[in-house]
């Protein structure tokens, strides 16, 4: 997942960057408003974290500008401004969530993950009247029905959630840690093989009966869904 961190305080920026990198994100950074605006306009991110008090262009102006240009990147505001009217102003300008400083990184991480999940789920549920396609796979997200080549495939809840997660992140290599956190939360030892077992079960239903495989193992890195 690609995320942009916009923060002019170098120490805070490095702290946030290291935290997201250690949790499997690809992190870009911006130290001022001009740099942030340029990156948001020319590159697509899964999410962005933005401070409001920035040199050159302030955070509110950046948000208003990118929203006027139809940039839909989910944005969480991270700011020392903590008055109710300031928070409301940030959300009205185009922020999707607001977290005040000082903050705990674990809360920021979970808010960003939640923001990305909500955005992905909204996109799926509004895509062609609840119909999601990937190659020969067709999913009715409203009825939770899965078909491949018009053949109904019965998936257990975690198998279904994994398939949706893979399709949301098609063409991206997903580590076992990312899959584990998305499907199970934090309740499992990272050394467990539950991810491998779930992938195997999904493969047996989605790939094995057909000539073409969609789920691929990238040795030492994880799994990817691609044609």
Q: Residue 87 forms beta bridges with which residues?
A: none
- Lowest-confidence pick of 23-32, 84-93, 118-127: 118-127
Average pLDDT over residues 6-29: 93
Average pLDDT over residues 12-34: 93
Q: Rounded to 10 degrees, what is the CA torsion of 173, 176, 178, 184?
A: 140
Inform me whether the pLDDT recorded for 123 exceeds 70: no
Number of separate helices (H) and strands (E) present in the chain: 8, 11
Inform me whether the pLDDT recorded for 145 exceeds 70: yes
Q: How far apart, in whole angstroms, are the C-alpha atoms of residue 115 and residue 215? A: 26
pLDDT classification of 127: cutoffs 50, 70, 90 = very low
Q: What is the token pair recorded at 214? A: 């969609």
Residue 16, φ and ψ in degrees, nearest 5: -65, -45
How are the residues of the chain apportioned to helix, strand and coil, as percentages rounded to the nearest 5? Answer: 45, 20, 35
160-175 pLDDT, tens digit each: 889 999 998 899 999 8
95-114 pLDDT, tens digit each: 888 999 999 999 999 889 88
CATH of 129-225, one of 3.40.50.410, 1.10.10.10, 1.10.357.10, 3.40.50.2020: 1.10.10.10
Inform me whether the pLDDT recorded for 156 exceeds 70: yes
Inform me whether the pLDDT recorded for 177 exceeds 70: yes
Average pLDDT over residues 138-145: 84
> What pLDDT shows up at residue 85?
87
- Lowest-confidence pick of 50-54, 57-61, 187-191: 187-191
pLDDT classification of 125: cutoffs 50, 70, 90 = very low
Inform me whether the pLDDT recorded for 11 exceeds 90: yes
Domain residue limits, the chain: 2-122, 129-225
Q: How far apart, in whole angstroms, are the C-alpha atoms of residue 111 and residue 42? A: 24
Inform me whether the pLDDT recorded for 191 exceeds 70: no
Q: Residue 215 forms beta bridges with which residues?
A: 225
Average pLDDT over residues 33-51: 94
CATH architecture of 2-122: 3-Layer(aba) Sandwich (3.40)
> Within a 13 Å sphere around the CA of 69, how many CA atoms are in the beta-carbon half?
13
């Amino acid at each position: 997942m690609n995320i942009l961190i916009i923060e002019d305080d170098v120490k805070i920026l490095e702290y946030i960057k290291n935290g997201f990198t250690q949790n499997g994100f690809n992190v870009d950074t911006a130290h001022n408003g001009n740099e942030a605006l340029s990156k948001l306009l020319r590159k697509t991110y899964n999410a962005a974290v933005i401070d409001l008090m920035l040199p050159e262009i302030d955070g509110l102006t950046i948000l208003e500008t990118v929203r006027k240009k139809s940039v839909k990147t989910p944005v969480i505001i991270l700011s020392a401004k903590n008055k109710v009217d300031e928070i409301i102003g940030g959300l009205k300008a185009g922020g999707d969530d607001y977290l005040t400083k000082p903050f705990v990184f674990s809360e920021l991480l979970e808010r960003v993950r939640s923001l990305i999940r909500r955005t992905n789920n909204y996109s799926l549920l509004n895509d062609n009247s609840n119909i999601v396609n990937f190659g020969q796979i067709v999913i009715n997200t409203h009825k939770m029905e899965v078909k491949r080549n018009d053949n109904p495939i019965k998936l257990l809840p975690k198998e279904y959630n994994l398939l949706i997660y893979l399709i949301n992140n098609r063409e991206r290599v997903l580590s076992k840690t990312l899959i584990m956190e998305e499907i199970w939360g934090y309740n499992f030892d990272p050394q467990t093989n539950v991810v491998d077992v779930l992938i195997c079960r999904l493969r047996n239903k989605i790939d094995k009966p057909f000539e073409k495989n969609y789920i691929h193992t990238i040795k030492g890195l994880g799994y990817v869904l691609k044609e």
